[in-house]
């Protein structure tokens, strides 16, 4: 009923998942800074997440961690697990998981990965996800996870349809308050959940991303920005001061820079001040 990718890019770990299951993000993904990430699915056992992360933190490899939690579980043959640690990875599909079910795992230049799914339209879902993950080493982890999930969705995904999707990723010092949470996004109930998750990631990157493609705030551009900010109620003799006030109101303060104006901030300003 679910397909997921667990991945690593350097010291960042995360999971992206989609399913014909409401609020799938409350069940499947988990990750811990400096340790790894886990996806528990099929007849998911939520306690697997903390159990496996604890074993990884103790130094155990992913295959051994999967074997240990499965050995004490009478329903293990109905479950799937994807696990990635600092130097290890594993995917497990129990023999009683509903067809089509299976997975793949490996390691590339950025780190480990594990892809798995059950009640899928066919093995092409996992294969397309594997191809996409391996091809997109240029992307940061959250975007790479979501692009891989979209590839699985486009290949057929969950044979029953779409409903929920989620992204959870961690990295040292990441997040609004440097807590380590790189992304935590959920689509609980949507007819095109994977694409809605991608839209939320776009918004997340806009709000939490660092300045990029910065243009100096001078000359004709400074005048344009000042005029647009004035139309939005932020008139000020100093365009930079007006920009700071508006960006704080618009939750774009993390993209502010003394070097000028971020290209994506300028795009939003132009869109919102016709």
**Tens-digit pLDDT profile for residues 16-64:** 999 999 999 999 999 999 999 999 999 999 999 999 999 999 999 999 9
Chain region(s) in the chain for CATH 3.60.20.10: 2-207
Give residue-wise pLDDT tens across range 97-146: 999 999 999 999 999 999 999 999 999 999 999 999 999 999 999 999 99
In sequence order, the β-bridge partners of residue 114 are 6, 105
pTM for this entry: 0.93
Range 2-207 has CATH code 3.40.50.720: no
Using CA atoms, how far residue 140 sits from 11, 112, 174, 179, 196, in Å, is 11, 14, 13, 18, 19
CA dihedral of 197, 154, 192, 120, whole degrees rounded to 10 = -100
């Amino acid at each position: 009923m679910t397909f997921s990718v667990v991945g690593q890019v350097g010291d960042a770990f995360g999971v992206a998942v989609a399913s014909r299951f409401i609020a799938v993000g409350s069940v499947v993904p988990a990750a811990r800074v400096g340790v790894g990430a886990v996806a528990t699915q099929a007849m998911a056992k939520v306690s697997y997440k903390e159990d496996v992360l604890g074993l990884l933190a103790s130094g155990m490899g992913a295959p051994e961690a999967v074997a240990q939690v499965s050995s004490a579980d009478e329903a293990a043959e109905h479950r799937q697990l994807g696990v990635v640690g600092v130097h290890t990875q594993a995917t497990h599909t129990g023999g009683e998981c509903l067809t089509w079910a299976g997975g793949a795992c490996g390691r590339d230049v950025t780190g480990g990965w594990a892809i798995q799914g059950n009640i899928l339209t066919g093995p092409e879902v996992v294969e397309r996800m594997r191809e996409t993950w391996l091809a997109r080493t240029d992307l940061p982890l959250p975007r790479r996870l979501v692009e891989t999930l979209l590839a699985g969705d486009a290949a057929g995904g969950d044979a029953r349809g779409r409903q929920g999707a989620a992204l959870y990723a961690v990295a040292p010092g990441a997040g609004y308050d440097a807590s380590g949470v790189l992304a935590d996004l959920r689509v609980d109930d949507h007819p095109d959940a994977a694409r809605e998750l991608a839209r939320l990631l776009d918004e997340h990157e806009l709000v939490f991303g660092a300045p990029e493609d910065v243009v100096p705030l001078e000359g004709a551009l400074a005048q344009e920005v000042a005029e647009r900010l004035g139309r939005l109620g932020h008139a000020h003799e100093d365009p930079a001061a007006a920009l700071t006030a508006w960006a704080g109101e618009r939750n774009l303060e993390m993209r502010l820079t003394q070097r000028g104006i971020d290209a994506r901030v300028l795009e939003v300003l132009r869109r919102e001040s016709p």
